[in-house]
A and B are shown apart, each in its own frame.
Chain A
Amino acid sequence: MATQLEQAPNIKTELRNQISIMIGGQGGDGTLTVVNLLGRIFRDYGLNVYDARNVLSRIRGGHADGVIRASCDEIYSTGDEIDTLVAFDEEAVTLVLNDLAPDATIIFDSSKGPLAQGLHRAFTVYEAPLGNMAASALRRNIFKNTIAFAILGRILGFEDEVLVQVLKARYARRGQEALESNLKALNIGLDYATKSIHSSPYKLKRGTNSGKILSTGNEATAFGFLVGGGRFFVGYPITPATDIMEWLAPRLPKFGGVVKQAEDELAVINMGIGAAYAGARVMVATSGPGQSLMTEGVGHAGESEVPIVVVECQRVGPSTGEPTRNEQSDINHIVYGSHGEFPRLVVAPGTASECFKMSADALNLAEKYQLPVFILLDQALCQNSESVQPFDIKAVTIDRGKLLSEESISKIPLYKRYQYSEDGISPRSIPSLEGGQSQVTGNEHNEFGLVSVDKSNRLRMMSKRMKKVELAKSDLPRGNNFGPRDAKIGVIGIGSTYGPIIESMAQLQERGTKVRFHQLRTVFPLLEDDLKEFMQGLEGIFVVENNYQGQLARMIKSVTADNERIVNITKFDGTSFKPIEITNAISSVLSKSSDAASFKLGV
Chain B
Amino acid sequence: MQSVQQAPARRIYTPSAPIWCPGCGDFGVLASLKKSLSDLGIASKDTVIVGGIGCSGSIHNNLECYGIHSLHGRLLPTAVGVKLANPKLTVIAAGGDGDGYAIGVGHFIHTLKRNPSIVYIVMQNGTYGLTKGQPSPTAALGYEGNKDIPFDAVQTALSIFSTTFIARGFSGNQTQLTELLKGALNHANSNKGLGFLEVLSPCVTYNDTYKQWREQVYNLDAEKGYDRTSRPAALTRTMQLLDEGKIPTGLIYEGTTPSLEANTLTQTEPIALQDITSPSNIPRYEELLKDFR
Contacts and interface: CB of A to CB of B under 8 A. Distances in A.
A281 interface: yes
Interface stretch (B144-152, B212-220, B249-257, B269-277): B269-277
Interface stretch (A15-23, A111-119, A262-270): A262-270
Nearest to B278: A229
B11 A432 contact: no
A431 B81 contact: no
B52 to A, nearest CB: 11
Given A270-B77, A437-B44, A442 B69 contact: yes
Contact of B71 (A276, A282, A297, A412): A297
Nearest to B289: A390
Interface string A212-247: 011100010001001101011010000000000000
A583 B91 CA distance: 59
A62 interface: no
Interface string B67-85: 1111101101111111111
Contacts of A207: none
A215 B292 contact: yes
A333 to B, nearest CB: 19
Given A251-B288, A266-B74, A270-B71, A431 B46 contact: yes
B13 to A, nearest CB: 4
A201 interface: no
Contacts of A437: 12-13, 44-45, 64-66
A443 B282 contact: no
A596 B19 CA distance: 60
A256 B286 CA distance: 17
B292 A274 contact: no
Contacts of A449: 13, 67
Which of A40, A254, A267, A416 lies at the interface centre, i.e. has the most chain B CB atoms within 10 A of its CB?
A267
Contacts of A597: none
A431 B84 CA distance: 13
Interface in A270-293: 270-282
B34 interface: no
Contacts of A432: 45-46, 86, 88-89, 270, 272-273
B215 to A, nearest CB: 36
Contacts of B288: 223, 226, 251
B82 A391 contact: no
Given A415-B12, A438-B12, A271 B81 contact: yes
B60 interface: yes
A263 B106 CA distance: 8
Interface in A250-265: 251, 253-258, 260, 262-264
Contacts of B88: 432
Contact of A267 (B11, B107, B271): B107
A408 to B, nearest CB: 13
Given A275-B82, A279-B273, A255 B284 contact: yes
Contacts of A219: 292
Most buried by B among A219, A275, A394, A450: A275
B90 to A, nearest CB: 9
Nearest to A247: B291
A36 interface: yes
A439 B85 contact: no
Contacts of A232: 81, 84-85, 271
A300 interface: yes
A414 interface: yes
A354 interface: no
B106 A264 contact: yes
Contact of B66 (A253, A394, A416, A431): A431
Interface of A: 36, 39-40, 43, 213-215, 219, 223, 226-227, 229, 231-232, 234, 251, 253-258, 260, 262-264, 266-268, 270-282, 296-297, 300, 304, 390-391, 393-394, 398, 412-416, 430-443, 448-451
Given A277-B81, A296-B71, 13 more contacts: A213-B289, A229-B276, A255-B284, A258-B265, A258-B271, A267-B74, A275-B81, A276-B85, A278-B89, A279-B271, A280-B272, A431-B89, A438-B13
